[in-house]
Amino acid sequence: MPARVEQPELADRRSRRVEELLAEMSLGEKLAQLVGVWLNVNREEGVVAPLQDSMQGEDVQFEAFAKDGVGQITRHFGTRPVEPEWARSALAARQRWLRENTRLGIPALAHEECLTGLAAWRATTYPVPPAWGASFDPVLVEEMGRRIGRSMRALGVHQGLAPVLDVIRDQRWGRVEECISEDPYEVATIGAAYVRGVQSTGVIATLKHFVGYSNSRAGRNLAPVHAGAREVADTLLFPFEVAVRDAGAGSVMNSYAEIDGVPIAADPHYLTEILRGQWGFEGTVVADYFAVAFLHTLHAVAADAGDAAVQALTAGIDVELPTGVTYLEPLREAVVEGRIEESLIDRALRRVLRQKAQLGLLDDDYDPEPSGPVDLDDPESRDLARRLAEESVVLLTNDGVLPLAGDRRIAVVGPNADDVAALFGCYSFVQHVLPHFPGVETGIAAPTVLEALRAELPGARISAAKGTGVDDGDRAGIPAAARLAAESDVAVLVLGDRSGLFGRGTSGEGCDAESLDLPGAQQELAEAVLATGTPTVVVLMTGRAYAVPSIIENAAAVVQAYFPGEEGAGAIARVLSGAVNPSGRLPMSMPRATAGQPYSYLHPKLGAAGSVSNLDPAPVLAFGHGLSYTRFEYADLTAEAEVAAGAPIRCSVVVRNAGDRAGAEVVQVYATDRIASVTRPLAQLVGYARVELAPGRSAKVTFDVPARLLSFTGRDGRRVVEPGEVGLSVRRSATDVVAERTVTLTGSVYAFTGDERRLTDVSVENS
């Protein structure tokens, strides 16, 4: 729940109110609190959820639907472009109607998408989650979460459907652009920071998608997941555990996935035994859109909608979103026919009412209309979007062409060079909603890369050519683009993705990739420009990592930017000009070829190249890689020689800026369990610190690594740390070792209780 401590008297009064309401409610009123209502949906062209066109029924009238009340109002601001102030008043009017025209007068909880900022017209749009991962800056991400929460609270919104805590497992999956990293520790730390930021404002954060969704077979959206219990426990669950137990997340959304044949929406092992029994979660579990009905229509484990509702409610899904396809009439019939005990409805209802009470919705003095002006894209938010975008740009290679001189002839080429949509991910309002409303302006100021470069380099003579589209395969413009590059001193080639939904893009939900080659004719464009001999800077604006080894090898410089948001073009231009020293690091490996997928740097020895196969899965650039315009040196790595198994390990290292300009280094610490009773990753991130240093200055960075990060699920199913040797190393990336020390874990096997510290404590001492 939101991080606000209730006074005991207030908490007691709210608790009594919940029990009074529950005792007074009819079955119809109870069920009404367990569903949402989604209004003003364009069913023909506005599809933004799986099978929405078939699952969403006829247009509903709010007053008729909510005659017994309603649990949630679905995407009041995020379904179509509406002026924020008008929409805020309209939402308040609906809340007043519920107070005055339903028997019990219970207001609804309003939820919105908020993955890259509040998904509403005219709201600040931040970089996508892989950019958060690239920044390695949880402090800045927490600040972003706080600003997003304030925007929602200013509109009367109570719950945000973010962050996504799925660990990247296969980069062909379209929803990679919604994920933070391929490393579960980074996902956990960055995701928990977002949760703390949002919930500090009194808004509920919702963890997505619990659990396993990103591990879908062949990278296909909603494909079955075949993962062993150990992989789920040791890799996929960890970010959710941290967000629940350390950050206090107030809501969890189920995954669409089925793991080893059992859909998560009907699996009490995850939704109840682990989430509530082991982790002590007390919030609400909400269904991903139409997920309950999918138990019947997609998974075929339920005979009909009523059976689906019984299975989901029993497993632990409290609220059906976005509307009441199964939890209204089908669930009512199941209760009347004795197929489910009403006590299970009361269990979910108590959680829902308790959350509404904690939000103040059940208080006598509840005022549904927030006061004050509405500015969803204020200068402070834009500045934060700028800082996050700047920190997230990753310099992959550079032969010295960067920073760019400002007095040169520059050819700016490529499909994403002059396209504002290339800045935004599929859960931004610009890409999620506006494509269904042609002619409506974006509502936010967002220059393109071409425009930003012209502003950043006023002395340069800049010419532009598109060359080809993102994925249209049109080659007609390639010769002209190559000629323009040949006539210039340097070329900036801007390639990448177009985000969309369900096949309407090259990245995004339902936009999975058969190949990790660049979409369309972009590789041919790159080869033509590179063949001119003109020094070429390639800028990749994507939602995933592509296999572009020839570009990495032959371009003068390569820059990676994951859909960087409204301030992203300026951030890229400032990195190219040198006004910003790049500090981003890869949150996902850069593959050498599609054949390497699915891939994670967290592979055991058998997952590496060897004589038993002709395929080498090693990426061309590893997780954690990133260059700077300055140089960083390391010295004095120290670590304890012996530590009892189950005790934390302390280590420290000195990092120095040995260059001539200020910069930020991401100090990365990895652990290697050299011999264990189950196979272990060759290296695993157990701590990191973003350290900003002036030229010539140093810092001592100390890490206190908890034993939990060295643990694994043993052969008997217990979480343990075994005695033996552990390699502790400082690396520039997952494969670039700077220094390593051996730590011997002594004593006997340590079995975890679950209450042990999960995150590494880090301190930085500047000198």
Q: Kindly list the catalytic residues.
A: 226, 288
Nearest Cα neighbor of 508 from 207, 253, 178 is 178
Closest CA to 582 of 411, 389, 449: 389
Distances from the Cα of 477 to the Cα of 85, 413, 465, 496, 610, angstroms: 45, 10, 8, 17, 43
Can you tell me the distance from the alpha carbon of 571 to that of 636, in angstroms, rounded to the nearest whole number? 35
Phi, psi of 29 (to 5 degrees): -70, -35
Helical packing angle, 329-336 and 305-315, nearest 10°: 80
Phi-psi label, residue 443: left if phi above 0, alpha if psi -120 to 50, beta otherwise: left
Give the contacts of 494 (CB within 8 A, at least 6 positions apart). Answer: 412, 413, 414, 415, 416, 417, 422, 449, 450, 539, 541
Find residue 692's DSSP bridge partners. Answer: 664
Name the residue with tokens 């007095």.
Answer: 407
Q: In what order do the strands lie in the sheet with 719-721?
A: 712-713, 719-721, 750-751
- Angle, helices 342-358 vs 8-24, to 10°: value is 140
Residue where the block lists tokens 């109002």: 73
| Residue 183 to residue 673: CA distance in whole angstroms | 17
Tokens matching residue 86: 């008008």
Give the three-class secondary structure for 403.
Answer: coil
Residue 373, beta-bridge partner list: none
Q: What angle do CA 56, 58, 61 make, to 5 degrees?
A: 110
Q: Which pair of structure tokens corresponds to residue 707?
A: 């034993």
The amino acid that residue 105 corresponds to is G
Strand duo 761-766 + 724-733: pairing: unpaired
- Residue among 755, 750, 668 at smallest CA distance from 711: 750
